[in-house]
Amino acid sequence: MITEKRSEVVDARRPGWAPPTVAVPRRLRFERFNQTVDRFLPYLLVLPAAVLTGVFILVPLAQTIWISFTLGAYTDQQHFAGLTVYQEALQETGLPFAIRNALVWGASAMVLAPALGLVSAALVEDGPARPKALFRFVFFSPYLFSLAVAGAIFTRVYDPSYGFIASLLKLIGFGDLKLQWLGDPHLALTAALVVFLWHEVPFCFLVFSAAIRQIDRNLYDAANVDGAWGLQTFVHITVPSLRTVTTMVVMIMLLVGLIPFAVVYALTFPALGAPSYATEIIPTMIFKLGLLGTNYEEAAALSVLLLVAIVGITLGLNKVREWQLAR
């Protein structure tokens, strides 16, 4: 209607204006146009999102699932092969390591990162350290680097000769240790996890510190009058008040922690997952088989297994969340 009014105003100003003599009056054409737009508006609005998702997610996802049940993908000889590829994929040497690492990594990500983030947030927001703004910045600062850059930095931090950690150890008299943080199969996973936590704890901190600031201060004052301080208020007020936020942070961390490709890539490329599968994860296996190599079928099978695992975990977590919200 706005358009229509505007056209009337413009036309009426012109002297000697007469109604157009075309078969379909202009006003009616606008009306019809408007009606059509209104009818298809939902589809027009959803279209770009649907096209992007369809082309770049749905099609490749369906293809991946199909490829995982065939042999000879991307050749003329592609044919259905049942579960053959899955049998082969399950015998990959790296797979047991990848599964172990996924468990360790997922558990650390969902427990350690939120726990450390929560404790540091409570310490900064309710603790004695001043100025708070400075400590907020300090605790958040690792997040200013992207995860891959954090990895690149830590290859230097871990350097056995000139690295930050080696130098600190030398300073306190452990100079002979010469720990090969990234070269020793027993240390590499921990070293990679530390980089991950260094980067993700600040994210948890940010969310928790903001959430703590939203808790009603009266609760703390009342507790103080009753003689409860510090640790007690943390356990009995802060933690219970943050229940929902905590669930959300844990969920995000678990999903991020299952696919820590950026860390492993930055720390170990070009020998992804080195040393001797110590930092192998399913994504690095998929990357090596299906992108660096040409074993598309096995990479696809691993992708499907990863999909099943993640969908299962997501559904499970949603159940937990619903149960928690229902209480």
Partner 1 sequence: MISARRPATPVIGRYIALVMTVVLALLFFSPIVWLSIASLSTNSGIALNPLGLPNGIHLDNYVRAWVNAHIGTYTANSVAISALSAALIATIGTMAGYALSRLAFRGRRVALGLVLVGIAAPVFTYLVALNQLVTTLNLMNTRTVVVLVNCATFLPVPTLLLMAFFRDLSDELVDSARLDGAREWQVFLYIMTPLSRPAILVALTFAFVWAWNDVLLPVVFLQSTDKFTLPYGIASLHQDQYRQDYVTTFAASVISTLPMLALYGYLQRSFVTGLTAGAVKG
- C-beta of 110 vs 147, nearer to partner 1: 147
| 22 alpha-carbon distance from chain centroid | 59
- C-beta of 278 vs 285, nearer to partner 1: 285
Q: Segment contacting partner 1 (CB under 8 A): 21-29, 87-95, 96-104, 195-203? A: 195-203
- C-beta of 263 vs 278, nearer to partner 1: 263
- C-beta of 93 vs 244, nearer to partner 1: 244
- C-beta of 189 vs 237, nearer to partner 1: 237
Residue 325, interface with partner 1 (CB under 8 A)?
Answer: yes
Q: Select from 174, 180, 199 the least CA-distant residue to 266.
A: 199
- C-beta of 23 vs 176, nearer to partner 1: 176
CA gap 294, 2 in Å, rounded: 59
Q: Select from 116, 101, 123, 268 the least CA-distant residue to 200.
A: 116
Going by the DSSP 8-state scheme, the letter that residue 81 receives in this structure is -
Q: Which of 16, 19, 128, 131 binds partner 1 (CB under 8 A)?
A: 128
Task: Give min distance, CB of 31 to partner 1, in A.
Answer: 10
Residue 164, interface with partner 1 (CB under 8 A)?
Answer: yes
- Please report, as residue ranges, which positions from 232 to 251 form the binding site for partner 1 (by CB under 8 A): 241-245, 248-249
- Please report, as residue ranges, which positions from 169 to 188 form the binding site for partner 1 (by CB under 8 A): 171
Listing DSSP states for 105-124 in one string gives: HHHHHHHHHHHHHHHHHHHH
Residue 194 in 3-state DSSP? helix
Which residues partner with 80 through β-bridges? 70
Q: Select from 189, 186, 310, 198 the least CA-distant residue to 255.
A: 310
Report in angstroms the alpha-carbon separations of 150 from 7, 91, 162, 207: 59, 33, 18, 20
CA gap 264, 279 in Å, rounded: 7
Q: Which of 110, 112, 118, 147 binds partner 1 (CB under 8 A)?
A: 147
- Please report, as residue ranges, which positions from 29 to 48 form the binding site for partner 1 (by CB under 8 A): 34, 37-38, 41-46, 48
Which residues, other chains included, contact 239 with Cβ-Cβ below 8 Å and sequence gap of 6+?
Answer: 118, 246
x-or-dash pattern for partner 1, window 265-304, by CB under 8 A?
A: xx--xx-----------xx--xx--xx----x--xx--xx
Task: Give min distance, CB of 192 to partner 1, in A.
Answer: 14
Q: Which of 78, 155, 180, 190 binds partner 1 (CB under 8 A)?
A: 155
Helix, strand, coil shares of the chain as percentages rounded to 5?
75, 0, 25
* Contact yes or no for 247/320 (Cβ under 8 A): yes
x-or-dash pattern for partner 1, window 105-124, by CB under 8 A?
A: -----------x--xx--xx
Residue 98, interface with partner 1 (CB under 8 A)?
Answer: no
- C-beta of 104 vs 206, nearer to partner 1: 206
- C-beta of 17 vs 320, nearer to partner 1: 320
